[in-house]
Structure 1
Amino acid sequence: MIADQLILDKKSTKSNYKEDKKSEKPIRSIAKAISWRVIGTLDTLLVSYLFTGKVVLAASIASIDFVTKMFLYFFHERIWNRIGWGK
């Protein structure tokens, strides 16, 4: 009975990021996604150029990589933000 109340109280206090001081707002996740993707895209550009020797092809690969992985990172962050493990 006491354990149930503790669990219910804990769940009700962590309903969303506004109430949870350890959570991040979505705008922070977006900023992190963009900054990380710039670094990752530069890496992809360099590696693609080293493998292909063609700047245009490397830039095409890096451009697609930038867009797709930014969205994946954002949703990855939001999902992990809901997980209480390790907080």
Structure 2
Amino acid sequence: METRLRSIVKAVIWNLIGLTVMAVVGLIVTGSLTAGGLMAVINTAIGFTTYVLYERVWSRIGWGRCHG
């Protein structure tokens, strides 16, 4: 089982990568750093929450794990 802290650290790192990518895409699509940044922040907040919940659910599922 994975600790909550590990799940959160993984989610933070993943979301920082996603935030950067989304900000660049938002800037390219809208031409506005403000609009692109806002899109990225909203997307990251939703993605972070979803990812943490997803990881916590999967940490409780034993299917597909090798033991021993």
One fold, TM greater than 0.5?
A: yes
Aligned residues: 65
Could you tell me how far apart the structure 2 residues matched to 1:37 and 1:27 are? 15
TM-score by length of 1: 0.71
Could you tell me how far apart the structure 2 residues matched to 1:77 and 1:36 are? 12
Residue number among 55, 64, 67 corresponding to 1:86 in the alignment: 64
Residue number among 65, 80, 84 corresponding to 2:43 in the alignment: 65
Runs (5+) with no aligned partner, structure 2: none
Query: What's the RMSD between the two structures over aligned residues?
Result: 0.7
TM-score by length of 2: 0.90
Provide, for residues 28-85 of structure 1, a one-character-per-residue CA deviation record: whole Å limited to 9, x for no partner. Answer: 0000010000001111111111111110000110111111111110000000111111
**Which consecutive aligned stretches of 4+ in structure 1 deviate over 4 angstroms post-superposition?**
none
Computing the radius of gyration from Cα coordinates, the structure with the larger value is: 1
